[in-house]
Amino acid sequence: MSDIGMVSRRSFLAVSLAGGAALTFEAKLALAQTVAGVVEPVVITAFIRIAADNSVTIGAKNPEIGQGIKTMLPMLIADELDVAWSQVRIEQTDADERLYGAQYAGGSTATPTNWLPMRQAGAAARQMLLTAAAKLWGVETGTLTTSTGTVLHKPSGRSIAYAALASEAAALPVPDLAKVPLKSPDAFTIIGTPRRGVDTPGIVKGVPLFGIDARPPGMVYAALLKCPISQGILVSVDSAAVLGVKGVMAVVPINSGSVPKGSNDAVAIVAKSWWTAHKARDLLDPKWSTAAQAGFSTESYAKQAALLLGGAAQVDLAKAGNVDAALAGAARTVSADYSYPFLAHATLEPQNCTAHWRTDGKLELWAPAQDPATGRSEIADMLGIAPDAMIIHMTRIGGGFGRRLMSDYMVMAAQVAKGVPGRPVKLLFDRTDDLRNDYYRPAGWHRLTAGLDAKGAIIAFKDHFVSFGANGKPLRAAGMSATEFPGPVVPDMHYGASYLTTNLNTGWLRAPTSNAMAFVIQGFLDEVAEAAGIDLPELMRRTLGAPRALPAEKGRPVFDTGRARGVIDAVCSVALWTGKPSTVPGKGRGFGFYFSHRGYFAEVVDITVSDGAVSVDKIWIAGDIGSQVINPLNAEHQMQGAAIDGMAQALVWQPIVQEAGAVTQENFHNFPLLRMDMAPRAIAITWVKTDNPPTGLGEPTLPPVIPAIGNAIRAATGTRLRSLPFVLA
């Protein structure tokens, strides 16, 4: 995924820090003032306010989706501000990119995007406090130091709490961000230390934090009835019977964003309770126009893909040398077909949004959104209102995995709110709504061929990739990188693509593209290594070659072969990898590597196969995300969770099945999730720190575990499985 929502550090900090107190979060902040004897906290910048007791409230600007960002970003500010973590209080900001810069949860971009800006925000506020103290005492700023929320003047022995300086500091001009001194890593007191998630106690206690928990006064509910075939259009609906149900308030035709403006593809029933609205759907008899979409099916896709794989690729993604001639002259060739299915996100919190079309003309929303700015833009376009006519409160998100990068639930909730102005209304999907109206990870098919020389080196590599697209371009999340390894290091190579059409909406699933490509490429390379008489780690080492940066597509991170080699060697060392098969029947060990979202990860998986069932015994992970692990406790949780998520994709999640244009899955009985007792007994984590800026962690651990499991199945059973999920006969 590209770095959507990236802005320059200086552009957003210049806005968010300038004027200090004029910029607020949670609409609660104010200049120091005494009201009925209560001293209000002082706003130092858009991100920081200081209370009279010297506690510091820090605004967390990005959506919290379980990745720990609500804790991690304030850690960066707090460390540079030089306060104790025990002094810190954290509040979620509203969505307002003019104040806070990009507010986005996707692509593991939060760390690389905010590593310097958040530190600069804290350092700038600290510098303002130092300047205020220097003016108060009539000394040079350079003679002052800080510690745990206190300014110190060691020559005179004086000290003063930040709280006593806050009002003066807030009135000062913002220092030049390029010149604000930042701490050296050896001076960090918060960064690099384990910190519990700020919301964890509340989650355990059931505190209402999530979008589904929103309860503004006077709220009513909306249930959704959407066309069962994606992109079908509502022709008519008779709402008389529904409006006669006690408690039902309105029936509102709406557009999910999947059909042209001016058309509708869904109906919302508004009632005083969600259950009333939900049950009243049975009384509707909508007429849909679906003839153009009814021919799409899982079966037809597979047949079309097989035909396309047998011909020439429609589009060249990358080409070097003469791959066909090189393959013809190779000492040995290896060929295989790999495939993977459509997948749903299956978030535990179904899609929801609460919206209020207020009497003052403002639209107020409570949204568990990964990309609230896009939601704002799409609502403005759909309803013809100004973007700044909206107030968006970001709630905690109960699972997203990329699903909530799409804004359909926000757009539909806004339309419903407009249909019942003056009262907040919560639009809530049920589980079937959620599974059948997802933005699915697209299916894909690959036909791969590799040519080896007499020494077992890869001299030619070819992949014909089939997925979904139109006009020679892939649909969202259905693409393949032109620099997919090992293409850039093979002298004769060809990556080509062909595209099918579909009526399904496609979207990013955690570690998008990578979750599929790692399975395909690393699974196939394991076959190549077997043909060469070596193991996969050794094939990777030889193919990676000398440490160097490989060419990258514009806007994409550069792939460093030395960093790749570093994690491969590390995981093989800690897992005591020998490359030799287990002597215990049913036991197998597999390896996988992948570079994605700026992170380098290599993994070893031990499995047991018994009566056709695969259980994962242990996973070893080595990861390189740069020079600094900001919150080691959360980082470990992210790595463990991502590996388990990859296990689910490999072993548990069932393909989304489409018949006559419609998705057939209804609930977790036919789209099961991984159960707690399926998790491995241990996940061992090793960090490989390198002299590179820190990068994100929510996604890059996931991809390698999928091929590692597949390769372990091969080692345990002698069977090579080339489609997901892995199923042994």
- Give 538-559 pLDDT, tens digit per residue: 999 999 999 999 988 888 899 9
Class of CATH domain 298-343+440-548+560-717: alpha beta
Q: Which residue has the tokens 């259950």?
A: 275
Mean pLDDT value of segment 629-648: 98
561 pLDDT exceeds 80?
yes
Report the distance separating Cα 204 and Cα 67, nearest Å.
17
At 729, the pLDDT band (50, 70, 90 cuts) reads confident
Q: Hey, where are the domains in the chain?
A: 9-201, 218-291+351-428, 298-343+440-548+560-717
At 24, the pLDDT band (50, 70, 90 cuts) reads very low
Strands (E) in 532-586, as ranges, are: 549-550, 559-560
Q: In what order do the strands lie in the sheet containing 145-147?
A: 145-147, 150-153, 158-161
Instruction: Give the pLDDT confidence score for residue 8 in this predicted structure.
Output: 44
List, in sequence order, every residue forming a beta bridge with 353; answer none if it has no partner: 427
The string of pLDDT tens digits covering residues 414-463 is 999 999 999 999 999 999 999 999 999 999 999 999 999 999 999 999 99
The string of pLDDT tens digits covering residues 145-184 is 999 999 999 999 999 999 999 999 999 998 988 899 999 9
Instruction: Give the pLDDT confidence score for residue 5 in this predicted structure.
Output: 35
- 3-state secondary structure at position 447: strand
C-alpha distances (whole Å) from 589 to each of 329, 707, 724 are 34, 11, 19
| One-letter identity of residue 476 | R
Long-range interactions of 572-580: CB distance < 8 A, separation 24+: 572/537, 572/602, 572/604, 574/620, 574/622, 574/684, 574/686, 575/604, 575/620, 575/684, 577/535, 577/537, 577/604, 579/534, 579/535, 579/537, 579/538
9-201: which CATH architecture? 2-Layer Sandwich (3.30)
Instruction: Give the pLDDT confidence score for residue 17 in this predicted structure.
Output: 58
At 11, the pLDDT band (50, 70, 90 cuts) reads very low
Cβ contact 419:314 at 8 Å: no
Instruction: Give the pLDDT confidence score for residue 254 in this predicted structure.
Output: 98
The model's pTM:
0.94
Q: Cite the DSSP H helix spans in 469-557.
A: 514-532, 536-544
Instruction: Give the pLDDT confidence score for residue 554 in this predicted structure.
Output: 87
Mean pLDDT value of segment 292-302: 97
191 pLDDT exceeds 90?
yes
Q: Do domains 218-291+351-428 and 298-343+440-548+560-717 have the same CATH topology?
A: yes
Encoded tokens for 294: 């009814």
Encoded tokens for 193: 């230390």
The string of pLDDT tens digits covering residues 38-96 is 578 999 999 999 999 999 999 999 999 999 999 999 999 999 999 999 999 999 999 99
* Consecutive H or E run containing 248: strand 248-254
The string of pLDDT tens digits covering residues 673-716 is 999 999 999 999 999 999 999 999 999 999 999 999 999 999 99
Q: Which residue has the tokens 């978030």?
A: 347
Average model confidence (pLDDT) across the chain: 94
Mean pLDDT value of segment 658-672: 97
Instruction: Give the pLDDT confidence score for residue 38 in this predicted structure.
Output: 53
Q: Give Cβ neighbours of residue 327 (< 8 Å, ≥ 6 apart).
A: 333, 449, 451, 460, 462, 492
* Consecutive H or E run containing 279: helix 274-280
392 pLDDT exceeds 70?
yes
Q: Which residue has the tokens 């490509």?
A: 517
Instruction: Give the pLDDT confidence score for residue 543 in this predicted structure.
Output: 98
Class of CATH domain 218-291+351-428: alpha beta
